[in-house]
Chains A and B, each alone.
Chain A
């Protein structure tokens, strides 16, 4: 299954499952990154890490390593923008 770390910037996808270390995962869930939620990778920081995500109208940044624990149902096509 593709993960959030695999997709190119500008890709919008749907979260299938949220993994990772417990406190971190709990915080992501509480911020609304639940299975079924739509998420877009907006960009990658100039030094290659972390990623900037757009979830429910909120801009969040997490590192690539943790993004790899977020599985996606489908890495749907490029978003318009």
Chain B
């Protein structure tokens, strides 16, 4: 016999994940059930000395009724449709303090004839409203267990109840009295149910018919519904002309109210959580609440931008140490270079994101688990609504200022796929920390450090302007994409503000571990592959032996999306690359410079030739082939642009503070004899870096999160297209105006 399957279902915010963790234990091996849109996590559940079952954690839902594909997951998981294995038992987790609303889902599960166990969780919070568990068990006829997952209470009783229920398959006794006319409607719909849905009792068929009657409509996003069923539902709804939705829900609520009365439960009224209400008076206060929110977000930003830095440096040093070790152990061959610069460099490119991912998910986990995330959505909904998104999109968008990789991963906190995709597509436009060194180099090289009007420093002002510019572009892109390519029916907001709770550290730790592992496993492989390809492009063909001396291979492909400029671009020297000796800066009249650059090994490589080939496309933006090569290198990570450009100019170890590189840029002359890098070129270059999608890791992570190449490709096309168009307009207009 195959292993029994148990589904864990329940409303959001009832501690379902905490219960899942408590039941499966910390050492549970977590595997994914990749659904179409939502992933369900499964782990082995120990049931006794020699029995295990598989426990599947299904995303929270208030009802089985669905319009979107996301909402359909609960029904599919409960019935074993749409690629889900059929469960032997459903364990519904309920908020013991909110029984009436939670039992609404129980009614739906019971009517479908699914064997049930009820876990009345949050018993500790319910206080006086705590239900009489034995009375409820008697009334419903299925095992009910009071639990408090956070405190580990009731877990063993629940485990026993599950083990027993897998043998007995208990069915709940529900007897909702639907109006006669509605029953007739349901029977008409039942006749048109697909073959696979016809099995089981009359009650089950009627329940499925009611589900179809409430869920199917012309614009739903449900999959696997037959045209016959859709047509029948349309006919029945039209013929009836009554408010069937209200009839169904009212009948269920009336029955549930009676049930709870029989089980000795009164109606809940008023605020159930006085402490939460008192805290919200401050945290949601028009002035104080907003101020606290801004302070908290500043802290989050600071954490991602700065606090992660020592960890990032440590990762980089670790990777360098391994690279040097391998370098010393192996003879000098192409294979060694591939291993050290391509493969190990690629591993470094993946690992370097972990500090920020772990940090962001620690913060997101704490915010979600404590209940504050819902308040952030509440506070920011007005702003995000203007962009066609919900308040929940705020944290991912904001995190994009630090790094797009964790920010894209954070889009998971949004329920709708359309909202997630839209947010993913625009997050990379936020000016991430990897752009900072580019801005620093260009501003320092091409703009004089003078004061505007005697007060405002030009260089600082430009930096602020770049951040504002990227934010505006991101917001405009959100509004435009959301109304065109990622169009979705605007869905009204229904946001539950759960009571504040002490976060479960185990749940937060588990989330950090799972998200990081998924990133390493899935996005990581793509990043690794890109790094190897890029290394090949910039290393081959090998220049003739005479120039090998100055060969500075693109060791800088390992670079970090990090914050502090000083630490950022120090390219991982990877060891042993010759050209640490920079040529004297005064050797720089333009034709010589050009010839020298042409001779550099990197210019001879495939990547260099590609840079040359791109020149006609880049010329109208004010760039030459050398910048083209730099842009190719920048695909590994934006800040690599600087070290690649350095290699083109024969400077081995360039960063944005390298004076020689600045000198060389200033000395460059265009075909017309004017300086090639004028302030206008600098502006154009900065705009290009602000808007273009150049980061392979972002492409990889969007692929991983959207489960399709369609969205990352669209992202590359629209961002680079937009960058080109903006730079073209800027440079051409600027030139006409004589700048």
Q: Which residues of A contact B (CB under 8 A)?
A: 18, 20-32, 34-35, 38, 43, 45-50, 52, 54, 56-63, 65-66
Contacts and interface: CB of A to CB of B under 8 A. Distances in A.
B584 interface: no
B422 interface: no
B97 interface: yes
Interface stretch (B191-199, B490-498, B673-681): B490-498
Given A22-B245, A24-B492, 19 more contacts: A26-B65, A26-B214, A30-B65, A30-B249, A32-B104, A35-B246, A45-B378, A45-B379, A46-B285, A46-B289, A48-B382, A52-B378, A52-B497, A54-B270, A56-B268, A58-B98, A59-B499, A60-B495, A65-B492
B514 interface: no
12 contacts: A21-B492, A23-B67, A27-B62, A27-B63, A43-B280, A46-B286, A56-B267, A57-B129, A58-B101, A58-B272, A61-B494, A62-B492
Contacts of B32: none
B217 interface: yes
A18 to B, nearest CB: 8
B284 interface: yes
Contact of B269 (A21, A28, A38, A46): A38
Contacts of A60: 494-497
Interface string B260-273: 00000001111110
Interface string B270-287: 111000100010001111
Contacts of B272: 57-58
B419 to A, nearest CB: 15
Contacts of A57: 97-98, 129, 268-272
Nearest to B498: A59
Interface in B496-524: 496-499
Nearest to A65: B492
B496 to A, nearest CB: 6
A59 B496 CA distance: 6
A45 B250 CA distance: 31
Contact of B383 (A35, A47, A58, A66): A47
A29 to B, nearest CB: 4
Given A46-B286, A52-B284, A31 B382 contact: no
A78 to B, nearest CB: 15
B480 to A, nearest CB: 22
B664 to A, nearest CB: 50
Nearest to B271: A54
A50 B495 contact: yes
Contacts of B287: 46
B283 to A, nearest CB: 11
B290 interface: yes
Nearest to A69: B492
Contacts of B286: 46
Nearest to B129: A57
A63 to B, nearest CB: 5
Residue from A27, A38, A54, A59 whose CB has the most chain B CB atoms within 10 Å: A59
A59 B381 contact: no
B494 A62 contact: yes
Given A22-B217, A25-B245, A50 B269 contact: no
B159 interface: no
B492 A45 contact: no
B497 A34 contact: no
A54 B267 CA distance: 14
Nearest to A63: B493
B70 to A, nearest CB: 12
Contacts of B246: 18, 29, 34-35
Nearest to A80: B270
Contact of B253 (A26, A27, A32, A52): A32
A59 B497 contact: yes
A58 B493 CA distance: 16
A61 to B, nearest CB: 4
Contacts of B497: 52, 59-61
Contacts of A27: 62-63, 494
